[in-house]
Each structure stands twice: as structure tokens, then as C-alpha cells.
Amino acid sequence: MGKYTEAENLEIQVLDARDKILGAEHPDTILAMGNLASTYRDLGKHREAEKLGIQVLDARYKILGDGHPATISAQGNLASTYRNLGRHTEAEKLQIQVLDARNKILGEEHPSTILAKANLASTYRDMGKHTEAEKLKIQVLDARNKILGEEHPDTISAQANLASTYSDLGKYTEAENLEIQVLDARNKFLGEEHPDTILAKGNLASTYTDLGKYTEAEELEIQVLDSRYKILGEEHPDTMLAKGNLASTYGDLGKYREAEKLLIQVLHASSKILGGEHPLTIGAMTNLAAIQKTLSQSINVDNAENQVFNTSHGVSVTQGMEEENVDTGVPHATNIVPTTNVDHRVIHSQKKGIKLTCYFP
């Protein structure tokens, strides 16, 4: 139900009681530790989750041994916590052990083995090992297609994950093909206003931008922004992000006034809600300055052209114009609003979550 604080309070009581009555090494006590660690992860209390996760894993090793399913699950859970803490090397090490164990004990096509591959692939992506991530994600998608079928939610998630890695590798056409399939499937099964469908639209729009298909990107980003407004409200971070993405595309299309208007809105809302030092605020400020500089240069060029036109029609110009190098080129989108929605679905301990990632200069 998402009531993580209430869960935390009860799980602390359960753990304390089992510790007192059964002892620290009793299976039920260790289970209580694992449950509380999981809730700490949900609450973003990753240090607390790490502390308990290490205790759980040590106890599993000692009592059950290396190859026991509960020990392997404890490794996977601790790896998830390491990943949340940005300690990707520790996460990678544990996830390789989990994958090897599940391959050996359960076989390549077991759901838990496929899940382990997906988790390791996500960590590879975090580490910038995109070729390794691609290899695993292709295997995950092939297995899910074969075992679950094309329309299963986990298969669609695997498509989205592979598409994100294709984008990382600059394989934008391959990413586009998968993202169109993902969007069609989510529209069909979840409806237009489901968060996963809106996310899929944003991802496809981002790929359209990478491919220079700015009109197609604009159309999708307007839909995303409308949905964000309607469902989340004007001041939600995801709404601000959607505005920033649309402003970026407006810049690509040369619609600088429209881009400026949206960026001013993003800057005001982000400053108010997230503060002046939040990356979204800083990004909006930087990008607004770039747009306004472009607009200023455009005005200078127009003024210069008007003076030339008037002079050629016999109008006396009494003051010479100092020669100036004016950059009239259109800035690349990444210099305006480099914000992208990335469908980064990471599955740990049978749980799914969506991570929105925003890139700034």
C-alpha cells in the first residue's frame, strides 16, 4: 500500500521481539531483519538497509552456506542496496555471484536467473559498461519473449530497458523501433494516462530528438506535458521536467520565444519548490540564459539587416556600425535543455521501480 513508515514501525517491533525471544541467529529473526531492510530501501534509508543487509548475509552464509536460495537472495538484496548507494563495484561483484549461482542451480531460463541478469545489466549501465549491458539485456528480452510471450509486462519492460541501452550506445534507430513497440503495448494494455505509458512517450520523444525528428518529438512532448499537468499538477517535478524537455525541442525547432516562456516557468517553480541549488533549477537557469542569448543575437542580426536595407534606399547613416562576429547558428539541443526521460526499470527482490533520470551540463 506504500505505507512504508507504518510498515517500518511494525517491523522494528517484530525484530526486537524475535531478537529477545528467539535470539539473533534464529531463522525467524533473520527473516525479520531482511524485511526491515527491504522497507528501509523503500524509504530511501540505504545506510540502515546496508547495515541490516550485511548482518542477514553473514548469518545466511554461516547457517545455510553459499548455495542456499536464501543466501543467494540475501546477496541480491545487499547488491540492490549497494547500487542505491552508488557503490556499483560492490553491487556488480555480488550480482555476478548471484547470476552464477542461479545459472548453476536453477538453469538459464528460470525467472530468478533472468531477473539476476536484468539486475546485473542495470548495474553495468550505471557503470557505463553499455556493451556488457546490451549483451545481457538482449538475452533477457529473448528469454522473456520465449517464456512469457510478447505482451507480458516483463517482456515489455525488457524492451524498454534494451532501448535505453541502445540510446546509450548511440543506436537510435534500434532504440526507436523498440520504443514504438513499448508505447503501443502500454497504450493498449495500460491506457494513455498510466504512468508507464506517459514515460514511454517521453522516452520515444527523446529518441526522436536524437534522430533529429523534432516535429514528432514536439507532438509527443506536448501530450506528456498535458498528462503531467492533469495528473500531477503544475508544480510536480515530473511536470517541470516535461516542460524542460518540450522547451528543448522548441529550441531545436527554432521556436525560441516558446522555449523561453516554458523555461521561465520551470525556473520559477523549481526555485520555489526544490531550491536554488537543485540540478533542475540550475539546469533551467543555464538553459534559459542560452535561449535568451540566442534571442539577443537574433535581434542584433535583425537590426543590422534593417540598417543595411535602409542605407540601400538612400537613407543617410551618420554613425558607422562596428563590425561584429555574430553567431547565428542554432544551438544543439544538448546546449539548451539536455533533459531526457529514461525508462530505467530495475527489478530487485521481485520488486519493480521506475527511475527517471535527468541529465544536465
Mean pLDDT taken over the chain: 85
Q: In this structure, what DSSP letter does residue 85 have?
A: T
CA 293, 295, 301 angle in degrees (round to 5)?
Answer: 105
The CB-based long-range contact list for 179-188 (8 Å cut-off, 24+ gap) reads 179/203, 179/204, 179/207, 180/204, 181/156, 182/156, 182/343, 185/151, 185/156, 186/156
* pLDDT tens digits, one per residue of 45-62: 999 999 999 999 999 999
Give the lowest-confidence range in 204-213, 269-278, 330-339. Answer: 330-339
Please name which of 282, 271, 284, 279 lies closest in space to residue 356, comparing C-alpha atoms.
Answer: 279
Query: Which has the closest alpha carbon to 295: 340, 338, 264, 267?
Result: 264
Residue 350 pLDDT > 60: no
- Which letter does DSSP use for residue 212 in this model? T
Checking if the pLDDT of 246 tops 90, the result is yes
CA distance 210 to 247: 15
3-state helix, strand, coil in the chain (%, to 5): 75, 5, 25
Residue type, 294: T
Q: Residue 311: which pLDDT band, with cuts at 50, 70 and 90?
A: very low
Which residue is listed with cell 548471484? 98
Distance of CA 156 to the CA centre of its chain: 16
DSSP state at residue 26: S
Beta bridge partners of 347: 352
Q: Is 165 exposed, middle or buried (0-12, 13-18, 19+ CB in 10 A)?
A: buried
List, for residues 107-157, the tens digit of each pLDDT value: 999 999 999 999 999 999 999 999 999 999 999 999 999 999 999 999 999
**Complete domains list, the chain, with CATH:** 192-301+330-361 (1.25.40.10)
* Rounded Cα–Cα distance for residues 191 and 199 (Å): 12
Rounded Cα gap, residues 218 and 126, in angstroms: 29
What are 344's strand-pairing partners?
Answer: 355
Mean per-residue pLDDT for 95-106? 97
Residue 349 burial by CB count (10 A; 0-12/13-18/19+): exposed, middle or buried? middle
At 330, the pLDDT band (50, 70, 90 cuts) reads very low
The end-to-end CA distance of the chain, in Å, is: 37
Contact status, residue 202 vs residue 224, Cβ threshold 8 Å:
yes
More confident position, 326 or 27:
27
Distance CA 241, CA 284 (A): 10
Q: What is the pLDDT of residues 248-282, one digit of tens each?
A: 999 999 999 999 999 999 999 999 999 999 999 99
CB 138 within 8 A of CB 165: no
Burial of residue 246 (number of CB atoms within 10 Å: 0-12, 13-18, 19+): buried
Amino acid at position 185, single letter: A
pLDDT greater than 90 at residue 85 = yes
